[in-house]
Amino acid sequence: MSSYRTVVVGTDGSAPSLRAVSRAAEVAAAASARLVIVCAYYPTDPKELERAADQLGDEAFQVMGSAPAQDTVQTASDTAREAGAGEVETVVSVGEPVSVLVEAADKHSADLLVVGSRGLNTLKGRILGSVPSEVSRRADCDVLVVRTSR
């Protein structure tokens, strides 16, 4: 079994995504790997804000603008450290989750990209396509999909 040096995990601040962060932290700790926590967000430009609100409904506040995203990665960082991660970095980036996660994995030379099986808007995810399946298709590294629906 190969050892991971860099693990990237995505979070949207939801409880399911924080379970994925915990699992990623456990893997990173076991491999003495660096953990990079990533949160994608929509800018607060009025047109983009409206588009995001249309797509995300009541959960839009969690991923719109950099301030909520910074809070999200801080909470995720605390969660990761509690789960045993040593070296933790955080990244917030404008864009849709799949592209942001894949780009972060490439930029940080990730050996493993971790995503939760469910996050915000699971019904919309089923209609529009899921983050885990799209990440699995596009990533150049191993992908771990953590079952977060329990």
Measured between alpha carbons, how far is 150 from 141 in angstroms, rounded to an integer? 26
Kindly report, residue by residue over 81-98, the tens digit of the pLDDT: 999 999 999 999 988 889
For residue 101, tell me if it sits in a domain: yes
Q: Residue 79: inside a domain, yes or no?
A: yes
Q: To 10 degrees, what angle do helices 66-82 and 15-31 make?
A: 50
| 10 contacts 20 by C-beta, under 8 angstroms | yes
**At residue 37, what are phi and psi to the nearest 5 degrees?**
-100, 130
Instruction: Kindly state the DSSP code that residue 3 receives in the 8-state scheme.
Output: P
**Contact of 147 with 117, CB cutoff 8 Å:** yes
| Residue span of the structural domain in which 82 resides | 6-146
Confirm whether 1 is domain-assigned.
Answer: no
The CATH number assigned to the domain holding 19 equals: 3.40.50.620
pLDDT tens digit string along 96-109?
889 999 999 999 99
Domain count along the chain: 1
| pTM, full prediction | 0.79
In a domain, 122, yes or no: yes
**Domain for residue 105, yes or no?**
yes
